[in-house]
Structure 1
Amino acid sequence: MTTYHFVGIKGTGMSALAHILYDAGEDVQGSDVKKTFFTDAALKEKNIPIFPFSKANIKEGLTVIAGNAFKDNHEEIVEAKRLGLPIYRYHDFLGQWLKKYKSIAVTGSHGKTSTTGLLAHVLSQIHPISYLIGDGTGLGHHDSKYFVFEACEYKRHFLAYQPDYLIMTNVDFDHPDYFTSIDDVFNAFQEMAEQVKQGIIAYGDDDYLQKIQAKVPVVYYGFSDTNDFQAKNIIEVDEGTQFDVYVRHHFYETFTIPMYGNHSVLNALAVIALCHYEGIKPEDIKHLSTFTGVKRRFSERTFNEQIIIDDYAHHPKEIEATIDAVRKKYPERKITAVFQPHTYTRTKMFLKEFAETLNLADEVFLCDIFGSAREAEKKLTIEDLQALIPNSQLLSMNSTEKLKDNSKGVVVFMGAGDIQKYQQIYEETFK
């Protein structure tokens, strides 16, 4: 039996795929840097061996799966080529693996991970399924009825997939280090739509998604009455958010989700539409109400009377959605936003928009920009963003104590870099 070796096993997609292969009975190992990531614990729980990067890890008999963050000149990839081993890039291997199942891809500029997690949760209460979520979690089953997975548009990697179904949450301009414009982003989504085999579930209030052309039916969901699936009568309740669903103007069912904010209703509506299309009964879809969330998406902890939230938001639209959810869940509390910009290119592109959305919080702290090694543009500094946000303060590893001033409020840590280290140091001050 072959052993699968993951180059960069701690990456979110890579670790999720490693879990899937392990659960399916395959031999799995991997390599990565020594630094601890939030994906480490689950890999160690399964005793999946993780080695420091070294060409000595690469031996005869391995099949190598390389993370997209690593170039062809990485020592392990070079050694695998020298030995003539099978080498796959993450998205290419996944594209082959999912052909065994009825596959449901979830893509979009925002909301992919939460929607994938929600769909996997609902379907797994009804059938054995496999899933791969962008928070690093994955599950494999021999007799899966469905394979639910997150499909990332970055560098058009999702074009390696030909899913049966595709959920499209929205089209927005992001990854400015790769995409040249919003039209370039849309063209990538259009290409992806052409590869779908059975049906597309798309957010209908998005002007770009309204233009999608496909060879399969496109079912739309959203708030406006032009959608096939419409959410109406949305109210905040103690358990979260309650709303009615209308299917082509006819009342279908009332659902409750344990989340807040319009974006959460939309994610749930996408799942409801897909399940309805697959003939799943409303009472089974109501497993939505027991969803506990995905990692780094509105993850909450309480210290004394202060609530601390960790969220992956790293684009202005995501920051806006996160702060909106906090306001709806905790309307009486003061909100402190702690934000670490992710990449110089994104920070430069959305500087003004970052300032506008962060201003929705009551208080703002900014951490140094988390840059990428592949970026040339590094002239920008965090002070450039601070200048656009009145009364904002800079936060260093040594000054996290300041956050205690909002003792009865909510502190939201947001970012896609290593902002958890600031949160970790801050939480240590409570011990």
Structure 2
Amino acid sequence: IEADEFDRSFHWLRPWMSVITSTDPDHLDIYGTKEAYLESFRHYTTLIQPGGVLIIHKNLEMKADVQDGVKVYTYSRDEGDFHAENVKIGNGEITFDFISPVESIKNVKLGQPVPINIENGVAAMAMAQLNGCNAEELKYGMKTYHGVDRRFDFKIKTDKLVFMSDYAHHPKEIYQSAKSMRELYKDKKITVIFQPHLYTRTRDFYKDFADSLSLLDRVVLCDIYPAREEPIPGVTSKLIYDNLKPGVEKEMIHKEDVLKFVEDNDFEVLVVLGAGDLDNYVPQIEKILEKRK
């Protein structure tokens, strides 16, 4: 399962094994400060049962605090107890060697060949291996895993046109997604239609959003998706728009105008990004773009 730190709900869990991938501050409407957010993760690590395992990203700011009898391992793409080596990206494929203190495995092939999934794959393989999966099972699992809905979710993938949906909605998530897109499509123009999620998150991180989105070529911003929140005076998508780096093509449109925007423009790579309801338009966008394949 995915543990959710919103409203401290992950404190109800009593895991036997857990992976912590990121502790970049979020939900500051709940926690108030970065320090309180990190403390919440520290408390979560105390809930892992004795005899269990914590697999934690090597470069996190937080301090783990596990019970006696809990083993702690580190991981990342390039370093840690578990990591990848000999990474090869090309021709729509990604392979790497899985380095592990239990048993290293050569030539692992990703079924969803997206660069961020090298690191995600390392974490998943580490947990599976510590639960007894052998090398053959691990390689099969990675090769046949094709992703989940709205996480680098390819709808159209041809040499001429790529269209995908991605749920990333925190600046660091968007940075990793944008970095992966740029790695995959070095020579193509990448257009993103982004719908910010929550007024508080936009208020707290608009500069970080702008920095992450500036990795891409063209940024189209929709109005903020409010979810559970009421509007905050002065907090709109324009905060992000105004902080995008020079050289980035940018515009602001209403959600209702997205389909017309797609009809009126040509794309090499188009991404619908965010955790709001913009994804509801994805099937219609796909139909429009299918005619151009």
| Band of TM-score, shorter chain | 0.7 to 0.9
Q: What is the distance in 2 between the residues matched to 1:326 and 1:224?
A: 19
In the alignment, which of 281, 300, 309 is matched to residue 154 of structure 2? 300
Structure 2 residue aligned with 1:118:
none
1:197-244 deviations in whole A, cap 9, x for unaligned? Answer: 111111122232xx212121111112454x211212212033532111
| Counterparts in 2 of 1:201 and 1:399: CA distance versus 1, 3 Å | closer
- TM-fit CA distance, 1:359: 1.2
Unaligned runs of 5+ in 1: 1-148
State whether structure 2 residue 136 is matched by structure 1 residue 283.
yes
Q: What is the distance in 1 between the residues matched to 2:78 and 2:143?
A: 24
- Counting only pairs closer than 5 Å after superposition, residues 124-143 of structure 1 correspond to structure 2 as none
| Alignment check: 8 A CA contact 2:199 2:229 kept | no
Structure 2 residue aligned with 1:313:
168
State whether structure 2 residue 39 is matched by structure 1 residue 184.
no
- TM-fit CA distance, 1:422: 4.1
- Counting only pairs closer than 5 Å after superposition, residues 139-288 of structure 1 correspond to structure 2 as 149-197=1-49, 198-208=52-62, 211-215=63-67, 216-225=70-79, 227-238=80-91, 240-248=93-101, 251-286=104-139, 287-288=141-142
Structure 2 residue aligned with 1:99:
none
SS at match of 2:96: strand
- Counting only pairs closer than 5 Å after superposition, residues 12-411 of structure 1 correspond to structure 2 as 149-197=1-49, 198-208=52-62, 211-215=63-67, 216-225=70-79, 227-238=80-91, 240-248=93-101, 251-286=104-139, 287-302=141-156, 305-375=160-230, 377-389=232-244, 390=246, 391-396=249-254, 397-398=256-257, 400-404=259-263, 407-411=266-270
Q: What is the distance in 1 between the residues matched to 2:15 and 2:157?
A: 43
Structure 1 residue aligned with 2:282:
423
Code of the residue aligned with 2:149 in structure 1: it is: K
Q: What is the distance in 2 between the residues matched to 1:385 and 1:277?
A: 42
Code of the residue aligned with 2:282 in structure 1: it is: Q
Unaligned runs of 5+ in 2: none
Give the length in aligned residue pairs. Answer: 280
| Alignment check: 8 A CA contact 1:312 1:415 kept | yes
State whether structure 2 residue 280 is matched by structure 1 residue 413.
no
Code of the residue aligned with 1:419 in structure 2: it is: L
SS at match of 2:257: coil
SS at match of 1:150: coil
- TM-fit CA distance, 1:308: 1.2
SS at match of 1:370: coil
| Counterparts in 2 of 1:222 and 1:347: CA distance versus 1, 3 Å | same
Structure with greater Cα Rg: 1
Code of the residue aligned with 2:97 in structure 1: it is: D
Code of the residue aligned with 2:180 in structure 1: it is: A
Structure 2 residue aligned with 1:81:
none
SS at match of 2:243: coil
CA-based RMSD of the aligned residues comes to 2.4
- TM-fit CA distance, 1:250: 7.7
Code of the residue aligned with 2:252 in structure 1: it is: L
Q: What is the distance in 2 between the residues matched to 1:158 and 1:303?
A: 36
Q: What is the distance in 2 between the residues matched to 1:268 and 1:373?
A: 33
Q: What is the distance in 2 between the residues matched to 1:174 and 1:199?
A: 25
- TM-fit CA distance, 1:303: 8.4
SS at match of 2:119: helix
SS at match of 1:214: coil
- TM-fit CA distance, 1:417: 0.8
1:346-384 deviations in whole A, cap 9, x for unaligned? Answer: 001111111111111111111111113434624312223
Q: Output the TM-score relative to the length of structure 2.
A: 0.86
SS at match of 2:31: coil
Identical columns (%) = 30
| Counterparts in 2 of 1:163 and 1:364: CA distance versus 1, 3 Å | same
Code of the residue aligned with 2:151 in structure 1: it is: R
| Alignment check: 8 A CA contact 1:336 1:406 kept | no
Tell which deviates more after alignment, 312-321 or 325-334: 325-334
